[in-house]
Amino acid sequence: MTLATAAAQAPAGVRFRPAHVAWALLALAVLLTLLRPALPDGIVRPPEWLVWPISEGLNRFFDWLQNDVGFSVVTRGFAAAVGWLLDLASALLVPTRRGYPLPDVVCQNIGLCTGHAIPWTIFAITGFCVGTWLRSWKLGLLCGLTFVYLAVFGQWQWAMQTLSQVAVAVPLSVALGFVLGALAWRKQWFEQVLTPLLNLAQSVPHLSYLIPVVVFFGVGDHAGVIATVVFATPPMVRMTILGLRKVPPEVIESGQMCGATRWQVMRHARVPTARAEILVGVNQVIMQCLAMVVIASFIGSPGLGDKLLNYLQSLRIGSSIEIGVSIVLIAVMLDQLSRAWAEKQPVHWERGTPWHVRHRMLLVWSGLVIAALLATLAHDYAHEIPRRKAISTKDFWDAGVDHLLAWLSAPAAKVRDFLLLQVLTPIRDAFQYPPFLAVLAAVAAVGWAVGGARSALTVVLLIAFLAVSGWWDRSMITAYMVTVAVVLAVAIGLPVGVWASLPRPSRGSPGWWFNQAVRMLGILIVSAVGAAAVVFVLETVVPPTPAVEYSLFLAALAAIAYGIERYTRDVTRDRFLLFLCDTVQTFPSFIYLIPVIMLFQVNDVAAIAGVIIYGTVPMLRYTVEGMRGVPASLVEAAEMSGATRMQKLRTVSLPLALPTIMIGLNQTVMFSLMMVIIAAFIGTQDLGQEIMRAKALSDVGMSLVLGFCVAAMGLAVDHVATRWAAKRKKALGL
């Protein structure tokens, strides 16, 4: 007899409901937890007969592929092809590599040395012209100054190594993602097969990609590019499917009426119409590639990530901050350029428009490039600034960190010790105390309450994988760290996002004065740090007298404060917060470890603090987006009914924004899971630390099983949150 039949035959008043089953499962979980001391060991922890040798089986499979089938011959050949592409990119970008792919005589006749790459001045000019052409002179200035910073501050060679890998990985990822996405859009069965693989690929931690790549492709920059392509392809696949599906039927019909073939319709109708979504996918690919190229330093990939890893290991905070600033500038530049490309619409000139009018920016760029090439003949610094002659701010950052730690080290140590002993350790013990069957029952209760028997079975199977894999205890430690981080991220992100979405208070009111005070304080702090950095840089060039130094500081402070105040004068809180989220989301995950290591050293507090910083961003973003998406007509109706500001927020805005906020919670959990694994770099006892150990042992099976454990937890949360949000939207009629 099925549950539906039992429910139909139940007498009136004893109607069978899913909520009853959920409460019964939850009661079972509580009962098993209370009876834990009396339960046999096979119920408290997964028994040995339940643990499957999955990692050993995977290792045997990969060994069979590599040695018996000879698959390594294919992978090594592919690695050689990627290595050739990297050599070509490095010849153009990276100094001290092979130089230009031109004969020596040609290079010498135009004043270029074959031992050097393209001058940094040409990159700065190109960045300025491209940014100006795509959006505005402000974006052009950002791009140009980014390259100037990399050259003047001695980061050029490392940055070009990173960009050469991105330049190879992005086209490969975009091409592979577009082809797979087009096939999935065309063939439904292929999409059904591909979708679970994409979900798994986007849930597995970054580090779990590295070990299989090392086994089949070796170590070095080519292995880093291959791991990056595997990691960055899924968002391109998804956005290609989305874009092709959104093409209106009228566009296709008009192409077919003109006699176009299927390929012509695809090329001239579908793809141009889906241009915006496809370019958003390209933007996501670029950012994923940059993030993964930095993490690929674990397998010998050179560049900024490798230097950042070395500096963090030796706790050289000043040098780490310099490298971090370089990575952030490159990330923001690439993000804004790709966004501007996605937003820019094609320009259609009238027939007969002169060539120089249509290509005005190209002519400007050509003239500036010729001037830059002439400058390289006049002075070598226009071609490359030697690192020993570059400006460095590491002493400034080290001094600032030393002063900051002198003020904060004692209270930070007390906070760290209190949190470790009084808060985190009891929570960790509480997560490890319940029997594993109690945890499965509780998970089943949540799944049943959200989506019935099918959802309960889905989440139970996902969490049961933690038990059969043999990593239950480590998984519970990971769950404890993620739970603490997510709770605190929600406690920070939700109220701040709601506050930022509220209407501006009227001028002269107490709320308006409070906002102005907070804004001016923030401007003053940022301006003071910027002015101090400017003075420090000028000191390294021309040491000034104390009076001149003081005057320079005040002038820089006033100029920076005026610029920020003028730029943010008309920016609303929600727009500023979304801009901040866009900027922070471009940071590679390593960057978040720098401040927490400074304050809390190496322990669970530092790891969780880094996860909180990383995980708060999606909570802020989706809270703001959810609040902004509330229909204005409903808010006006509440106002006409006499509702107060708090009543409108509690009864209208928050309930309607809750489905979107739940998606933000889902993303916060996924971000936190990824960051917990990265935080293992500074010392944890969870799955991330075991992934690090698997990397050191080159154990492919162990690495994949650990990655699947993290993915199982993420997919379980994703399933529950997605089903609940869909159910809530349906109830609200959205």
For residue 543, what pLDDT is reported? 64
Closest residue by Cα to residue 705 from 267, 265, 205: 205
3-state secondary structure of 10: coil
The CA–CA distances, whole Å, from 18 to 29, 552, 652, 721, 728 equal 17, 70, 28, 18, 16
Query: How is residue 478 written in tokens?
Result: 């990971």
For residue 126, what pLDDT is reported? 92
Closest residue by Cα to residue 592 from 696, 706, 677: 677
Full set of structural domains in the chain with CATH: 40-58+398-504+572-732 (1.10.3720.10), 71-117+153-345 (1.10.3720.10), 523-569 (no CATH)
Q: Are 207 and 694 in contact (CB under 8 A)?
A: no
Q: Please give the Cα distance from 41 to 628 (Å, whole number).
A: 52
Query: How is residue 238 written in tokens?
Result: 């998804």
Q: Are 178 and 244 in contact (CB under 8 A)?
A: no
For residue 102, what pLDDT is reported? 44
Residue 707 CB-half CA count within 13 A: 25
For residue 568, what pLDDT is reported? 64
For residue 147, the Cα-to-chain-centroid distance in whole angstroms is: 23
The CA–CA distances, whole Å, from 306 to 180, 294, 574, 587, 692 equal 32, 7, 36, 16, 16
For residue 318, what pLDDT is reported? 77
Instruction: Mention every residue, 6+ apart, whose C-beta is less than 8 A from residue 610.
Output: 592, 593, 596, 675, 678, 679, 682
If the chain, 734 residues long, is cut into consecutive pieces of 10 residues, what is the mean pLDDT of each piece? 44 57 89 88 85 86 79 81 85 60 45 61 91 88 90 86 88 90 87 84 78 80 85 87 84 80 82 82 83 79 82 76 83 84 77 80 89 84 78 76 76 85 88 90 90 88 90 90 91 86 72 72 74 67 66 75 68 73 71 76 82 86 83 79 78 82 85 83 77 80 87 88 80 67
For residue 103, what pLDDT is reported? 46
Query: How is residue 558 written in tokens?
Result: 């006033």
- In this structure, what DSSP letter does residue 112 have? -
Instruction: Mention every residue, 6+ apart, whose C-beta is less than 8 A from residue 404.
Output: 598
> How many other CB atoms sit within 10 Å of the CB of residue 237?
27
For residue 115, what pLDDT is reported? 47
The backbone region for 502, taken as left when phi is positive above 0, alpha when psi lies in -120 to 50, beta otherwise, is beta
Q: Please give the Cα distance from 149 to 326 (Å, whole number).
A: 8
Q: Please give the Cα distance from 303 to 313 (Å, whole number).
A: 16
Q: Which amino acid, 505?
A: P
Q: Give the torsion sign (CA, 296, 300, 304, 310).
A: positive
> How many other CB atoms sit within 10 Å of the CB of residue 525?
10
Rounded to a whole number of angstroms, the distance between the first and last alpha carbons of the chain is: 36
To which residue do tokens 């968002």 refer?
Answer: 235
For residue 99, what pLDDT is reported? 43
For residue 95, what pLDDT is reported? 65
Q: Please give the Cα distance from 225 to 231 (Å, whole number).
A: 10
To which residue do tokens 């958003």 refer?
Answer: 280
Residue 161 CB-half CA count within 13 A: 21
Q: Read off φ and ψ for residue 113, nearest 5 degrees.
A: -100, 135
Q: Please give the Cα distance from 603 to 623 (Å, whole number).
A: 31
Q: Give the torsion sign (CA, 681, 682, 683, 684).
A: negative
For residue 112, what pLDDT is reported? 45
Instruction: Mention every residue, 6+ apart, whose C-beta is less than 8 A from residue 203.
Output: 670, 673, 710, 711, 714, 715, 718
> How many other CB atoms sit within 10 Å of the CB of residue 64?
11
Residue 498 CB-half CA count within 13 A: 18
